[in-house]
């Protein structure tokens, strides 16, 4: 069974973003970005919450588009509205879905991108 890894970019002072979601101070090019991008591409599946998914809209992501096209992507929430032909899977009850997902990926790990991680993953090994 594959581990679920919470892998997040943070600033030197430990924050994920500045006030109002500002990410302008994060590096957008260079060795650290190349390393992070390469590591992301090793994950077979990606778990993210609605706010994390919708954050991509400000950077050109369209509703339903997979922000991680090399991976199976799951958006976990109760409130998002995605098109019928969405490239991401919308999940409202994460625990059973993630339990089914873990054995499906014998290779790379599963990447969790959002703050729902403890709520989503408590009890996975039960």
Other CB atoms within 10 Å distance of the CB of residue 113:
22
Helix, strand, coil percent values for the chain (each to nearest 5): 30, 15, 55
pLDDT for 43 = 84
User: Which residue ranges in the chain fall short of pLDDT 50?
Assistant: 115-126
The pLDDT tens digits of the residues spanning 45-57 come to 888 889 889 988 9
Q: Does the predicted TM-score (pTM) go above 0.85?
A: no
Write down the residue that tokens 């703050």 correspond to: 115
Question: DSSP strand E in 27-108: where?
Answer: 45-49, 72-76, 89-91
* Domain chopping of the chain, boundaries: 4-121
CATH for the stretch 4-121 = 3.40.430.10
Judge whether 101 and 4 are in contact, CB under 8 Å.
no
The percent of residues above 70 in pLDDT, for the chain, comes to 80
């Amino acid at each position: 069974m594959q581990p679920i890894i919470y892998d997040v970019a943070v600033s030197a002072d430990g924050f994920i973003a500045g006030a109002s979601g500002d990410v302008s101070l994060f590096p957008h090019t260079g060795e650290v970005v190349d390393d992070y991008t390469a590591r992301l591409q090793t994950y077979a599946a990606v778990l993210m919450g609605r706010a994390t998914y919708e954050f991509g809209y400000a950077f050109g992501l369209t509703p339903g588009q997979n922000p991680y096209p090399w991976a199976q992507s799951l958006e976990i929430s109760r409130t998002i509205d995605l098109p019928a032909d969405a490239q991401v899977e919308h999940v409202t009850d994460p625990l059973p879905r993630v339990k089914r997902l873990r054995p499906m990926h014998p290779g790379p790990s599963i990447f969790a991108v959002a703050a729902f991680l403890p709520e989503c993953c408590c009890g996975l090994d039960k």
